[in-house]
Structure 1
Amino acid sequence: MTFGEKLKELRLARNFSQPELAQAAAIEQSYLSKLENDKSLPSNEVFRQLLAALSVELSDLLHCPKLKSDLTRLKQIPDIDAFLSQRQQFTIGQQRRWWYISSALIVIAVTLFYIGQNERLFAQQLYQYQSKGVVLEGEPEAIFNTWIHLMPQGVDRAVKDAKQQEMLLREAIDTRFEASNLGDAVTLEVEGGRRYYEYQQKIVTADTISPWFRIVGVLLFCMGLMGFVLERKMFKHVY
């Protein structure tokens, strides 16, 4: 559809005759006839007068899909050229936002997936320490391990058995798990004396966070790709 055909369509839709519209727009009827037959384009001032007489907004007129084929010619009218330029800039701005958001989603997705691949990153490490019992004042730290070596040479068997029975009765194993390595052994004050904790082993707990990083990474990557696909479809007229 041409501008002249659209102008005539609007005039008839509002039940205007050519003389009536020409009078309302303050132009000659012969000039209006030329416009409707596409023998001329209105000046910017006349174009504004026609829109006012027809009670039509510029945006409503140009949003008509049928006029798309005649837009190149209509750009000779300054108001139309300015409106189309502004609309194009707005469209390009929206297109760039889609592109930036989609790119950001893909970058974040790759980062999260890479982090999720490193399962050791979120695996919790605990250090196990064990104490056999309370060490009394004056006793060496490792009394429960070395008491037999501290017995005088040649001591009676009965004395050794009694000491062994005493140490067995005092034995009360306590296990601690520390988030950091405290060394081969650590001594802590407790009620009645102190406890001597010896390092046993390092325990690595199962990592339950990394799989979620990978899942979220895949989802964001798909969203980023979908954003690029939608951007191409929504703004295909820009390319």
Structure 2
Amino acid sequence: MEIGKKIKQYRLKLDLTQEELAQRTELTKGYISQLENDLCSPSIATLEDILHILGVSLQEFFSEPANEQIVFTSDDYFVSKNGGGTNTWLIPNSQVKEMEPIILTLPQGAQCEERLPFEGEEFGYVLQGKVELVTLREKCKLKQGDSFSIDGKKQHTIRNINKGESKVLWVTTPSNF
């Protein structure tokens, strides 16, 4: 791996000169130049200092770029049942990631499966219709354009109180659906 070349790429992305990077890391411009030309190797502590200034973690710096899909179309989605409604999974294999976005679609009067407590949190945004977020202690009515954020430790469910279909963009972190 060409460490110096990667450091230079990150430095240039931030529009920093070698001198500016040297000043921020308390190193010399000559050392930064030698490093970027792979004429010397930094200690782990020095590399961590440089990467901190460049806004890059060690893990990110040493990971190989993956041909990871970042744009998804409706062809990539899949649908599964959720109580009386359906989940449209917006990102395939999102269960292995930190965030799991779905669109919950509920026909009139339907309710999704009760969400059991877990370590994490959930965010929802009502795309269409009216729903009721029900926890053990309260019921909250939400309409199109409203959103909610709830601690995953709270047992809860969502029910459609609209005269017609309702849709909620629902994001769980970490993934838990």
TM-score when scaled to structure 2? 0.35
Specify which structure has the bigger relative contact order, considering alpha-carbon pairs within 8 angstroms and separated by 6 or more residues. Answer: 1
Give the structure with the higher percent strand. Answer: 2
Give the structure with the higher percent helix. Answer: 1
